[in-house]
Amino acid sequence: MGGVGDSLLDDASGRLDEALRYARVSEDALERLRYPKSTLKVSIPVRMDDGSLRTFRGYRVRYDDSRGPTKGGIRFHPNVNVDEVSTLAFWMTIKCAVLDLPFGGAKGGITVDPKQLSKLELERLSRGYIDAVADFIGPDVDVPAPDVYTNALIMGWMMDEYSIIRRAHVPAVITGKPLPMGGSRGRDTATADGGFDVIEALRGKLIPADRPTAAVQGFGNVGATIALLLHEAGYRVVAVSDSQGAIFCGGGLHIPTVKKIKEESRHLEAAYCHGSVGDLANHDRLSNEELLSLDVDVLVPAALENAITEANAETIRAPVILELANGPVSSAADRALARRGVTVIPDVLANAGGVTVSYFEWAQNRTGLYWSAQKVRERLRERMVGEALALWDFAAEHGIPLRTAAYAQALTRIGEAADAKGRKEFYTSA
Ligand code: NAD
């Protein structure tokens, strides 16, 4: 096992052990969760633009389907390997159960650096992947979605290829599609929207300030959208960063301007504090490490995994961390932060808005009835707020971190579904 997969797997299983003490889950259900339900390894031959043939390795892992068809993204990345995909599939099993979605968990990926491919090569690879996994997926079986370096365009090609194979229009086989191909309104901003709903639901319990301050690490799809939502809701977003570095403004950055400049120039560095909005003084640029240790009310990691580890956990001064990235806080850091009373709103809750609207997309595809942006937004808010408040109460009742509460809740739900088919006590009682 190599790369990211190791740490993710270690983290996932360590956190599971902790949560088990608070979950109502039978031995039988746990036995089912020990290994992925099924793992498919494929090779995908692709005709390259220069006429040569190249073979890529691809994977699809369905971890557990006790609660419904499995659901999870497809990642295109040079580090993709079967262990990483399995771990992420396990993670999706938990996330879907935290939000009470009628899905199990899965994940897929291709070991490739997509930036090295032409657009036509990328299309042939995406269609080739679907040709290879077509018998393994389906609207009632396993429903993929975008993940790292895959997007709506790729989902569209994949849905089209599956429909060609099945000789039928099958939009519900995949989510995160372009709108004209059966995508859902609100899917593009769903992850940040859901994270915003969670922080707003818990705001009265966590943040005393009237005009709270926030710092956002990562200014991509998720980070830029949450920064804008917080700004519009009256937070002072004092710092944001991308892979090149961070910008800071004590009076609050004017996020619509920062976003516009970033979109035009593609560099956050080009953005400066806007006119009268704040006092730049000498603090207009920060390193990424400095952003993480700012004294703000809410810190939002929205970039990559393992941003906060044992090495920098002691430098974190924010009392609340909203995890919009997947796995931005390692388990060792989690323990250090908990000792210091920092509240971590875990990824399996905070960034589950994306998979929740994917569920809405699947439901719309299956009924053929399409919802307005407002209806999607209301249904997302209802679900995010409901689950956030329930987890808050559960965590408070047991005096445990929200992450442990989320894992315990998910394990209980998965266990109930698995046990509904019968458990040891039933078969061994007279
Ligand atoms: P993205 O590629 O659009 O944005 C990532 C951003 O992080 C970019 O601005 C990049 O410059 C920045 N970045 C990279 N390294 C950095 C560093 N060291 N310091 C600061 N910034 C850095 O990706 P995204 O879709 O916004 O996803 C961000 C995170 O959210 C990922 O962890 C992803 O798994 C998670 N997530 C995304 C979704 C979704 O719907 N897009 C859903 C759930 C979780």
The residue whose CA is least distant from atom 36 of ligand 1 is 325
Radius of gyration (C-alpha) of the chain in whole angstroms: 22
Distance of CA 162 to the CA centre of its chain: 25
Q: Are 3 and 84 in contact (CB under 8 A)?
A: yes
With beta carbons less than 8 A apart as the criterion, state whether 207 and 175 touch: no
- Distance in Å, CA 223 to ligand 1 centroid: 7
- If one residue of 115, 304, 309, 360 were mutated to test the ligand 1 pocket, choosing by the most ligand atoms within 8 A of its CB, it would be 304
Rounded to the nearest angstrom, the distance between the alpha carbon of 103 and the centre of ligand 1 is 24
CA 159 from centroid of its chain's CA atoms:
21
Whole-angstrom distance, CA of residue 314 vs CA of residue 317: 8
The residue nearest atom 19 of ligand 1, judged by CA position, is: 243
Nearest residue CA, atom 43 of ligand 1?
351
CA of 220 relative to ligand 1 center, distance in Å: 6
Please choose from 4, 8, 196, 243 the residue to mutate so as to test ligand 1's pocket, defined by most ligand atoms within 8 A of CB. Answer: 243
Nearest protein CA to atom 14 of ligand 1, as residue: 243
Tally the C-alpha atoms within 13 A of residue 271's C-alpha that lie toward its C-beta: 29
Atom number in ligand 1 closest to CA 148 = 34
Q: What is the pLDDT, as a whole number, of residue 11? A: 66
Ligand 1 binding site (Cβ under 6 Å of any ligand atom): 191, 217-223, 241-243, 288, 302-304, 324-326, 351, 354
Contacts for 80 with CB less than 8 Å, ≥ 6 apart: 57, 59, 109, 110, 111, 112
Q: pLDDT tens for residues 315-357?
A: 999 999 999 999 999 989 999 999 999 999 999 999 999 999 9
Instruction: Dump pLDDT digits (tens) for 112-130.
Output: 999 999 999 999 999 999 9
pLDDT of residue 8: 53
Which residues carry out catalysis? 107
Report how far residue 253's alpha carbon sits from residue 332's, in angstroms, rounded to the nearest whole number.
Answer: 32
What residues form DSSP beta bridges with 73? 145
How many percent of the chain have pLDDT more than 70? 93
- SS3 of the chain: the string is CCCHHHHHHHHHHHHHHHHHCCCCCCHHHHHHCCCCCEEEEEEEEEECCCCCEEEEEEEEEEEECCCCCEEEEEEEECCCCHHHHHHHHHHHHHHHHHCCCCCEEEEEEEECCHHHCCHHHHHHHHHHHHHHHCCCCECCCEEEEECCCCCHHHHHHHHHHHHHHHCCCCHHHCCCCCHHHCCCCCCCCHHHHHHHHHHHHHHHHHCCCCCCEEEEECCCHHHHHHHHHHHHCCCEEEEEEECCEEEECCCCCCHHHHHHHHHHHCCHHHCCCCHHHCCCCCCCEECHHHHHCCCCCEEEECCCCCCECCCCHHHCCCCEEECCCCCCECHHHHHHHHHCCCEEECHHHHCCHHHHHHHHHHHHHHHCCCCCHHHHHHHHHHHHHHHHHHHHHHHHHHCCCHHHHHHHHHHHHHHHHHHCCCCHHHHHCC
For the chain, list residues with pLDDT below 70: 1-13, 266-283
CB 136 within 8 A of CB 72: no
Residue 280, pLDDT score? 35
Beta-bridge partner residues of 45:
55
pLDDT of residue 268: 61
pLDDT of amino acid 341: 94
d(CA 317, CA 297): 9
Q: Is 252 left (phi over 0), alpha (psi -120 to 50) or beta?
A: left
